[in-house]
Structure 1
Amino acid sequence: MTDRLPRIGVLGIMQELYDHMIPGITERQAGYARRVADRLGDVADCVIGEPVKSRADAERAVRGFENDDLDGVLVVMLTYAPSLRVTRIFDRMRLPVCLANIQPDPAVTPAWDMDDMTYNQGIHGAQDTANAMVRAGLPFDVVTEDWQSDAFTERIDRWARAARAVTAWKTLKVGVFGYAMNGMGDARVDESALLRKLGPEVSAIAPGDLHRAMDSLDTTAVEDLMAREDERFEVDARLSKEERDDHARMQLAIEQILTERGIGAYSTHFDAIAEDGRFARLPMASASSLMAKGYGFAGEGDVLAASIVYAGHRLAGDGHFTEMYAMDFPSDSILMSHMGEGNWKVARADEPVRLIKRPLGIGRLDDPPTLLFRIQPGPATLASLVYLGGTDFRLVVAEGEVLDSQELPVLEMPYGQFRPASGVRGCMDAWLRAGGTHHMVMNLGHAAADWKVFCELAGIEFHQV
């Protein structure tokens, strides 16, 4: 679900005036736009529109980008062009925008003539165009760079991934099996505000639908899933065929429901499953494997966390649902874990992921097969989506590293120790003051700059701690 490159429309803007001054300039600058797109080929699948010279051209090009289900629009000034020709498209733009403040030649030289001045005068067109975007209230990113540099590719890569995540969010459906955990305030959100401001739509799923889907599954599909688990994981010999069969049915049934209803993220709450009375165990391993396939997930009916895990997949790859469990002051780190759900794609490369038989008192059901692993040491980033009321949202972000830390042999759920770059004391003081929630997404690597662009495009306050 997250392997494809972002699909980006390249909107090249110029004006007819220069066709009379410099014959062939349109073809020349169109070639420049193609070279820019080729330069970005490793980070984006670029769709190049014809050079835009009028309001009609601009509106036609953007309608085409939107109808082609692209992720964003990269605006490139091919020459100076008055912004009023594109102002209206910015007033109704649905796709995330980046203004590439670039020019064909990186340096001014004594050999330049007036033609060269015209080819390279995009900067004041960018100023006029950016002014129109600001007046329209359109969120956008800006990249000023030499387009042939690695820095340009890196910055457009960051924006394109953010655009892909934001665009996917606008049509995201988050399924909640049963109901959310009673009394858990930091996961509460006005669902209408979430839909209006950011896009995710919440869809309630009756536990009975899950039960019926489990009963209707083909035995071959269940056996195929267990065979794949045998190949991928170190399977606990204590797990019975009945336990594994039941777990596999839950995972396949959940995925079937998500697929049929167009749902990209989901949440289950242990009480909602347990109180139904028709289920033998909680779907712990299911959450781990579905996250590994690119679905957003959060426990306890937490729609906000499920949404941000989904965004984390598309922004930085392999979003991992987790929470801060306890502080370890001697190592200046925080133990990260949850009840048993975690994306096994962030597991240590030097240790097998284990599918274990695991007693669990929560829910008062039978033992749920659980995927157990330690998180890969190295750079990592945490992000928490906070609802502030009205249509205001904040993203609290912390960079740091997962330590190559001690084993905790009694802990039977995914875990790792995260050392914030700002230290436990500074990070937690700032996290709590910002209202950071107790459920969050972790991505391997330093991704704060990626989340910052994401927030700019989505209209979310960015707060790094």
Structure 2
Amino acid sequence: MIKAFENYEVWFVTGAQLLYGGDAVVQVDGHSKEMVEGLNNSGRLPVKVVYKGTANSSKEVADIFAQANNEKKCIGVITWMHTFSPAKMWIHGLQILHKPLLHLHTQFNEEIPWDTMDMDFMNLNQSAHGDREFGHIISRMRIRRKLVVGYWKDPKTQEHIAVWERVCAAWADSQDMLILRFGDQMNNVAVTDGDKVAAEQVMGYHVDYCPFSEVMKYFNEVKDEDVDALVNVYFSDYDHDAELEDTTTEGYKKVWNAAKAELTLRAVLEDKGAKGFTTNFDDLGDANVEQTGLGFDQIPGLASQRMMAEGYGFGAEGDWKSAALYRSVWVMNQGLQGGCSFLEDYTLNFNGEQSAILQSHMLEVCPLIATARPRLEVHFLGIGIRKSLTARLVFTSKVGKGVTATVVDMGNRFRLIVNDVDCIEPKPLPKLPVASALWIPQPNFEVGAGCWIYAGGTHHSCFSYDLTDEYWQDYAEIAGIECLIINNDTTVDNFRRELRVNEVYYMLNKALC
């Protein structure tokens, strides 16, 4: 359906038992096939569902789940109990299952056939208590899962499954995710750093350092004709002043050099199989680049903007957690229309109930969230090792609802913090030519910003117009990390109480382990 998901599949396993005879098993199998076909034909699920049969014994369950673990295309398992399926037969399979699990509580028939229902029908259609039996053993075994309750043909039910599928795809993608850091953390910042070993253990992705001396090897291999071609793409895809196309001007030179930097970064990432990267604007190669040519003559902001739009994870100033999270946001966002971006809390606008936060960065905001066609511009940037004219895309974001998220390292656990936000119309910034968004954190500035700070949230976050709290709750459930949601239902008192309760829970959990 969507390129990002075409190599993935979700397995569907139906629970039953042989108590009711072979004819019942045949009917269960037929109903299950019809349900899977209906789900796939609904047009709502981004990942294909594959029916893997009816499980009637402990051995059958364990065999199917072992196969799921070993099949790379399988990114998750959906279970449903058509009849009463004794839960002890699921124990060994659940003990070995390493893929995300969704428990679907549904029924093949929509309504009770009041006039014709007999004991045979009752024996066959026992989801009402079969799913409770299965739910009990999952809860007793403390197994993480998503529970979807509703009729399988209902669009709402299918949409909940679709959300989970997208999260499973992002999770699968992160299990072989490599993030390259071009430069280290900057200026002793705490919140953008953390335990890379723990992150790989918990969330799957690997973070490596790539010295700029190695980047220069790729830089020197970039061909001028390839740079020329990319510059022409820039001029075709983005609004710009005509004088930028004058090859004798400093502006053209900066655009050309920005294109060479993009081609360099692409070459490094493609060669190493990386899905994301971080930059450091104090580490761009030789400080005397104008004389030696051994480095980038500007921060690679334009490259970062364009590469984010294509799915590369990005984090500024060495923020590897944001780079990895943005890649996952982009994967979940595939096929949806709103767009997503890495963003930073830039400055505040106090205006009563309309008090808001300007979101931007020096340059690196993804054009997927632009309200109109971006403009390619060149302006002086007076920060970092390269205080010089710098190419960038300038735009403002769409008006609408969205959600932003970040992951922080709390020492004994990772914490996912999520905030629903309302993007509003910004005012012009004639002297600040950057890409930007302006939003009011829900439920309002005071509570939203306050709770984010109470939770230890970062000044960087990963934003999407399309994702919802449900996506992030599913992500945290699969990853087994703490999840804090800030939305219109949040109050400061309740949120602080949740923080205290969570602290006790995770301290006790660590002690018991």
What is the letter of the counterpart of residue 78 of structure 1? H
Determine if the alignment matches structure 1 residue 264 to structure 2 residue 275: yes
State the partner residue of 1:416. 437
Q: Distance in 2 between matches of 1:161 and 1:127?
A: 26
State the partner residue of 2:330. 313
Q: Displacement, 1:247?
A: 1.3
Q: Displacement, 1:440?
A: 0.5
Q: Aligned with 1:186: secondary structure?
A: coil
Determine if the alignment matches structure 1 residue 169 to structure 2 residue 174: yes
Q: Distance in 2 between matches of 1:209 and 1:275?
A: 12
State the partner residue of 1:459. 480
What is the letter of the counterpart of residue 396 of structure 2? R
Instruction: Spell out, residue by residue over 1:283-318, the C-alpha distance to the aligned partner (whole angstroms, 9 max, x if none).
Output: 110000000001110100011111221121122354
State the partner residue of 1:215. 220
Maintained 8 Å contact 1:7/1:45:
yes
Instruction: Spell out, residue by residue over 1:102-153, the C-alpha distance to the aligned partner (whole angstroms, 9 max, x if none).
Output: 1101222322122322332123232222233234332110001011111111
Question: Aligned to 2:79, which of 72, 75, 79?
Answer: 75
State the partner residue of 1:51. 54
Distance of aligned partners of 1:449 and 1:275 in 2 relative to their CA distance in 1, 3 Å threshold: farther
Instruction: Spell out, residue by residue over 1:243-301, the C-alpha distance to the aligned partner (whole angstroms, 9 max, x if none).
Output: 22321121122122212222112100111225665322211100000000011101000
Q: Displacement, 1:63?
A: 3.7
State the partner residue of 1:326. 347
State the partner residue of 1:189. 194
Maintained 8 Å contact 1:2/1:313:
no
> Identity rate of aligned residues, in percent?
22
Count residues with an aligned counterpart. 462
Q: Displacement, 1:386?
A: 1.4
Determine if the alignment matches structure 1 residue 151 to structure 2 residue 156: yes
What is the letter of the counterpart of residue 297 of structure 1? F
TM score, norm. by length of structure 2 = 0.85
State the partner residue of 1:286. 303
Q: Which moved more, 1:228-237 or 1:187-196?
A: 228-237
What is the letter of the counterpart of residue 96 of structure 1? P
What is the letter of the counterpart of residue 261 of structure 2? M
Gaps spanning 5+ residues in structure 2: where? 245-249, 289-293, 487-513
Q: Which moved more, 1:290-299 or 1:373-382?
A: 373-382
Determine if the alignment matches structure 1 residue 399 to structure 2 residue 400: no
Q: Distance in 1 between matches of 2:167 and 2:42?
A: 15
Distance of aligned partners of 1:53 and 1:259 in 2 relative to their CA distance in 1, 3 Å threshold: farther
Q: Distance in 1 between matches of 2:56 and 2:133?
A: 15
Gaps spanning 5+ residues in structure 1: where? none
Q: Displacement, 1:435?
A: 0.6
Maintained 8 Å contact 2:65/2:94:
no
Q: Displacement, 1:434?
A: 0.7
Q: Aligned with 2:470: secondary structure?
A: helix
Distance of aligned partners of 1:27 and 1:437 in 2 relative to their CA distance in 1, 3 Å threshold: closer
Q: Distance in 1 between matches of 2:287 and 2:20?
A: 71
Distance of aligned partners of 1:19 and 1:358 in 2 relative to their CA distance in 1, 3 Å threshold: farther
Instruction: Spell out, residue by residue over 1:54-79, the C-alpha distance to the aligned partner (whole angstroms, 9 max, x if none).
Output: 33332333344341422211112232
State the partner residue of 1:295. 312
Q: Distance in 1 between matches of 2:129 and 2:223?
A: 63
State the partner residue of 1:447. 468
TM score, norm. by length of structure 1 = 0.93
Instruction: Report the RMSD for the aligned CA atoms in angstroms.
Output: 2.1
State the partner residue of 1:273. 284
Runs of 4+ in structure 1 over 4 Å off: 274-277
Maintained 8 Å contact 2:280/2:316:
yes
Q: Aligned with 2:389: secondary structure?
A: coil
Question: Aligned to 1:206, which of 211, 223, 235?
Answer: 211
Q: Distance in 1 between matches of 2:23 and 2:377?
A: 74
Q: Distance in 2 between matches of 1:302 and 1:415?
A: 19
Maintained 8 Å contact 2:66/2:97:
no
Q: Aligned with 1:358: secondary structure?
A: strand
Q: Displacement, 1:375?
A: 0.7
Instruction: Spell out, residue by residue over 1:156-213, the C-alpha distance to the aligned partner (whole angstroms, 9 max, x if none).
Output: 1111112212222222221111211131011121111111111121111111222111
- Which of 1 and 2 has higher RCO (CA within 8 Å, sep 6+)? 1
